[in-house]
Amino acid sequence: MPQKEGVRLTKTAIITGASSGIGFETTQELIKEGWRVFGVDINTGKFENSKLFKQSSLFTPITCDLTDAYAITLTMALIQKEVSSVDALIACAGVLRLGALANMSVEDFDLVFNVNVRGLWLSVSRSMPMLKSAAKLSGSARVILLSSVSALRPKIDSGAYSASKAAVSQLTRVLAVECAKDNILVNALAPGTVDTPMVRDQSSPGKQGNWRPSGPSPLGRIAVPSDIVKVIRFLLDENSSYVTGATIPVDGGTQAAFIPTS
């Protein structure tokens, strides 16, 4: 059936950090639901082992270093040549570097903020024309940013990461109000400990220092990526059409109240 002029039969999303963890799970889920997905990541080679991405015409991988402002601008321009409208930007890319703030290297501190805050902001900024176009056609568009429970309850040895995620939550609030006139809803998720390669890598012996993962939540387990994707799907759905400017904890109650260990 041919597509009618002005009517898009396939929704489109840009997902940063699409090759791993929450971004990878979100990418798979949306493709299964019939979305066209542009998967942006510094390491798109990870997609090669996925049959879904090999077989699907709905997926386009794009290699991009989110510490490079020009690369982000070029990436969004390339996407805009393919599609004039994007229904959702889902910013999952992030890095974690641990260490006491007094001893952390400038390189590690800058990397955390360049990816988690600057790269995220540039991704939103450079995709805004496509989001505005989608909102005019469909009534609304969505921006979903990955904050962290660390923004609400920081830990020692993760000061830079926690501060970067607190910045994400504040950007979410201001962006939501600035974008409201264009019917673009902006929200953030604040996951607790999630079983992802990034967390597993930093939890290995010799890398923790004084930092520890939060461990099982009050619900008795840590999260898996699909727990976070379920809330992302809610924020993409019409049932969330009056939700904007929020940072939603998805942590099994981890930050709700302190539980003594003994």
Q: Catalytic positions, please?
A: 161
CA–CA distance, 262 with 167 (Å, rounded to integer): 34
Closest CA relative to residue 62, chosen from 17, 122, 26: 17
Would the CA dihedral through 108, 63, 125, 30 be positive or negative?
negative
CA neighbours closer than 13 Å in the CB half-sphere of residue 59: 25
First to last CA, the chain: 64
DSSP string of the chain, one letter each residue: -PPPTT--SS-EEEEETTTSHHHHHHHHHHHHTT-EEEEEES-GGGGGG-HHHHH-TTEEEEE--TT-HHHHHHHHHHHHHH-S--SEEEE-------S-TTT--HHHHHHHHIIIIIIHHHHHHHHHHHHHHHHHHHS-EEEEEE--GGGTS--TT-HHHHHHHHHHHHHHHHHHHHHGGGTEEEEEEEE-SB--HHHHHHTSTTS-TT-----S-TTSS-B-HHHHHHHHHHHHSGGGTT--S-EEEESTTTTTS-----
